[in-house]
Structure 1
Amino acid sequence: MAAHFLGFKSIGIEWDRNACETRYAAGLPTIHADVSVMRTSRFDEIPKSVDVLAGGPPCQSFSVAGKGKGRRALNEVKEFIHRLVDGDDEARIDEDLRSLDDSRTALVLEPLRWLLKAIETDGRDPYKVIVLEQVPAALPLWEVYAKLLRGGEGRLNGVKYEAECWQLKTEQFGIPQTRTRAVLVARRPGHGAIEPLETTHLPFDLHRGKRNTSQPDLFSADSGTSGSKQRWLSMAEALDAASKLKGSPLDPSRLRRGGKMKFFVVSNYGSGGNPKNRGRRLSSEPAFTVTGKISRNKVYTSTEDYEAARSDRFTIPESGVLQTFPHNFPWSGNDQAQQVGNAVPPRLGMHVLSRALRGNAPSDDELAASVTWPPVPPTTTAELRVIGCGDQGQCPPDSHKVTRSHRESAP
């Protein structure tokens, strides 16, 4: 998404069939495959012109919202990173990786393995730029990556990178949600040091006052700017603006009171270690981190006895807008809430990629254009599906399996 709005071409490799359907509908070239299989047996299918490696390995095992098995395995994963670069036998490494509690944790090694594959493959050049994203708990791994990339030792065969990693808060880049991510940017020498990203908005104070749970009607919020930075963007501002765009599928009338958008959200997650203590956000504040469970968050417009009030849910287009996807983005397939939550917010991606590839921030015109997605002809979607899925024989196992209920409900 970010590459598209910045004017760069890209090709995706995606395991999840539903995410592929969305990408086909959006006109984004995608191979429906396992990244490990693509690396080991289908690497020649990746065009040699591809010179940027960007990825977001699955975060569930590292996330504070999950069971945290990946966090407990951080030291083990650091050891695996060093073993790969030092030239340890990969078959032995694969066997040891299978002993991890969560097999997805091993996927954080894939970007490094792709880089080594490019370096060791005749007729290929090392990637010029590498951009990786994960939850904050993975920052120590990116720091190990960065140190090794700067050194160029072992299997890196003298290939060195300028490399930096940061924790970034999404609301500081004009995204109407609070979400912190660990990002690594590395690029070959010759383009100067990698400068930190310049934030455009103020941070949101997660501890702003104590709310009275029986009167969650504190709809006022700080406003204005501080110096050259704008105040963070609220849910109400983002949804209201998106609803006014031509052809917008958003109909936020149910979220309005007295002509103004006023609501509050009760999170699906507990806070403070208490699963019953559901967090609350006002419409005049940024959203909680948008996860695959966003459709379970409850939305209320009543300020009186909200426990007895009728709750609503964010629609998929609304959830996408809170992630800074275009209002008309063609979400497709099943598990759309999960697709929304799994994604990197495109606006954050634009800031990161622009810094990595061009050394500057995205322009105002580029950011303004990112609120609308261009129409994609059905013929293009069909062509991309054929290219991405082919005869389905090389897609992940059982990913195209059709259940009886699906057959019975099919037109």
Structure 2
Amino acid sequence: MSHVTHAPSSPAVFRIVDLFAGPGGLDVAADVLGHRVTGIEWDDNACETRAAAGMDTFAGDVREYRAANFPHAQVLTGGPPCQTFTVAGHGAGRRALDDVLEYIARLHDAVRSESTPWREVFRTWRRISEELRHKAAEAATVKAAKREVETVRSVTRKAARKNLAEHGCSTEEIKMALKTLQAPLGLTRRDADLKSLFDGLVSVEESLDAHRIRLEELGDERTGLVLQPLWWVIERSRRPGLEPYEAVVLEQVPAVMRVWEEYEKVLATLGYRTRTQMMHTEAFGVPQTRRRAVLMARFGKIDIPELEETHERYRPGGVPAASRGSEHANGLLWDIDEKSVGKSRQGPKDSWVSIEAALKKVRDIAPDLGLPDRPAFTVVSNYGTGGDPGARGRRDHDAPSSTITGKVSRNRLVHKGTDTDLPRFGRFELAEAGVLQTFPVAYPWRGGDRPQQIGNAVPPRLALHVLRHVLEPQLSKQEANARLEQAVARLETWRPPGEPVKVRRRKDLAGHPLTEG
């Protein structure tokens, strides 16, 4: 990438294509490791951030592109959308997962024999794609019909509410009647209009239930997106004239681990050695507790061992290693100082990194940004509460952050141990939220919905570990540690280029280094 000024110390510089690239979490990690990345991203806001950060980007839906468009890419990475696997209620998430596993099995059957002609393999993919398109088209029709019914329901409820009020019903009685779809005190027996309204509401709710069930059966179009990385690997492995990727790295939420395990079976058939691992981000120096399901693969005979954790896992109420008398500090951004770093009794692991330790370091690194220096505080989060104020998560400033989500801007900062809001700086700055994801403090967030961009991103600190582990297996442990130390130091002080780069479109494929390089 044009703004990289450091001479890479990697034994090899890889050219990476990153699917569903987001604002650039994996890309900035690859950048500081010295690799060259091209991302594909559909969200215009994320593309705007990527452009400001100097990240080479093709805008658009991943499905508009093919592996054959980038024949010189050596590594495939990505994190496909996953919301459908975590949907609660009615078994929708389970059905979405089952559908994907069935599609993966069909693709696996198509590639089991190396003698199967490419046209037959492609025909299987085309049939799957057509099924997904038909489902998406029908789902769009059902959604439109559902919206019309919802409009009818809204009008009918408003009329029923007015009628009940005219009958002298209290607010609570009206609320209960609309909830149970039964008017109080047998009013419907005396008022034909009211009876008609409630009969209509019952019919509307039945229609809505039918639409919801059908939508769950059809699934979400994002369900098919999780197949894209696998198809790209298959195309590179089996399409005449193309060569397999040297490595593959995929990551997502824990619910996707089952998908990665099925991926492993197909990749093994295609000649890859693989490893799946559930990673706790704070165990790799990220000042945040978050779990990610990671799939790592290399083509050929090089095994991928489990990636060793470098930091302790966070356990509420536990004592960090540094507080147990250890004397270790390396001064890097995510391993702050003598008060927050140490070796555990179980082995040479650093302590998890706290919110305040990470923010204190970046205030020193970038004083020009004017980030606030707060008194001891507690973060009160709305994440995962279901709207229940009593269920709001709390983390003190001297612990790692809870999972950073797209709602990070709503988190309140209160005086530690109280519910009293800080009088100033009662919310995280965008730069601070990015730092808790281990983005450089100077990362140039652009476009709209910036908290969502930050919450959806891959933590660069985690990506550093994974990419180094997969792409540089020949390094000794001492060399690997030195390599990571150097990369983290670069990540600390990373700055964007002076001018944004141009975001490419599909029409710009000709002449690109991964196309013709």
1:27 to 54, 68, 88: 54
Question: What is the CA distance between 1:66 and its match in structure 2?
Answer: 10
Question: What is the CA distance between 1:21 and its match in structure 2?
Answer: 0.8
Question: What is the CA distance between 1:389 and its match in structure 2?
Answer: 7.6
The alignment status of 1:233 with 2:353, answered yes or no, reads yes
The alignment status of 1:38 with 2:61, answered yes or no, reads no
Structure 2 equivalent of residue 117 of structure 1 = 235
The alignment status of 1:202 with 2:323, answered yes or no, reads no
The 5 Å alignment of 1:291-310 reads 291-301=405-415, 303-306=417-420
The alignment status of 1:10 with 2:27, answered yes or no, reads no
1:286 to 400, 405, 412: 400
Question: What is the CA distance between 1:6 and its match in structure 2?
Answer: 0.8
1:248, 1:328 within 8 Å by CA — same for their partners in 2?
no
TM-score of the aligned structures, taking structure 1 as reference length: 0.80
What SS is found at the alignment partner of 2:398? coil
The alignment status of 1:183 with 2:294, answered yes or no, reads yes
Unaligned runs of 5+ in 1: 153-158, 210-220, 392-411
Count of aligned pairs: 358
1:130 to 248, 262, 266: 248
Question: What is the CA distance between 1:277 and its match in structure 2?
Answer: 0.9
Structure 2 equivalent of residue 90 of structure 1 = 125
What SS is found at the alignment partner of 1:168? strand
Question: What is the CA distance between 1:267 and its match in structure 2?
Answer: 0.8
State the superposition RMSD in angstroms: 2.8
- 1:190-222 deviation digits (Å, cap 9, x = unpaired): 3x310111111100014769xxxxxxxxxxx99
Distance in 1 (alpha carbons) for counterparts of 2:428 and 2:487: 27
- Counterpart amino acid of residue 5 in structure 1: V
Distance in 2 (alpha carbons) for counterparts of 1:368 and 1:14: 28
- 1:40-65 deviation digits (Å, cap 9, x = unpaired): xxx5542x221100010112223479
What SS is found at the alignment partner of 1:113? helix
The alignment status of 1:55 with 2:78, answered yes or no, reads yes
- Counterpart amino acid of residue 124 in structure 2: D
The 5 Å alignment of 1:154-193 reads 159-190=270-301, 192-193=302-303
What SS is found at the alignment partner of 1:148? helix
| 1:109–1:31 distance in 2 versus 1, CA, 3 Å | same
Distance in 1 (alpha carbons) for counterparts of 2:433 and 2:31: 21
* Structure with the higher fraction of residues in helix conformation: 2
1:69, 1:102 within 8 Å by CA — same for their partners in 2?
no
Unaligned runs of 5+ in 2: 1-27, 111-122, 136-216, 320-338, 509-517
Distance in 2 (alpha carbons) for counterparts of 1:128 and 1:105: 26
Question: What is the CA distance between 1:123 and its match in structure 2?
Answer: 2.5
| 1:304–1:77 distance in 2 versus 1, CA, 3 Å | closer
What SS is found at the alignment partner of 2:227? helix
What SS is found at the alignment partner of 2:85? coil
- Counterpart amino acid of residue 485 in structure 2: D
| 1:320–1:252 distance in 2 versus 1, CA, 3 Å | same
- Counterpart amino acid of residue 107 in structure 1: L
1:356 to 455, 470, 473: 470
The alignment status of 1:106 with 2:217, answered yes or no, reads no
Question: What is the CA distance between 1:248 and its match in structure 2?
Answer: 4.8
- 1:126-156 deviation digits (Å, cap 9, x = unpaired): 1110110011111111111112211x1xxxx
Structure 1 equivalent of residue 100 of structure 2 = 77
The alignment status of 1:373 with 2:489, answered yes or no, reads no
1:61, 1:67 within 8 Å by CA — same for their partners in 2?
no
2:42, 2:62 within 8 Å by CA — same for their partners in 1?
yes
| 1:301–1:131 distance in 2 versus 1, CA, 3 Å | same
Distance in 1 (alpha carbons) for counterparts of 2:127 and 2:87: 30
TM-score of the aligned structures, taking structure 2 as reference length: 0.64
Q: Of the two, which has the highest radius of gyration?
A: 2
Question: What is the CA distance between 1:118 and its match in structure 2?
Answer: 1.8
What SS is found at the alignment partner of 1:27? coil
- 1:324-369 deviation digits (Å, cap 9, x = unpaired): 0001011111111111111110010010011110025442111121
Question: What is the CA distance between 1:298 and its match in structure 2?
Answer: 1.0
Percent sequence identity over aligned pairs: 45
What SS is found at the alignment partner of 1:230? coil
The alignment status of 1:346 with 2:460, answered yes or no, reads yes
1:264 to 369, 378, 383: 378
| 1:305–1:276 distance in 2 versus 1, CA, 3 Å | closer
| 1:207–1:64 distance in 2 versus 1, CA, 3 Å | farther
2:372 to 252, 255, 276: 252
Structure 1 equivalent of residue 446 of structure 2 = 332
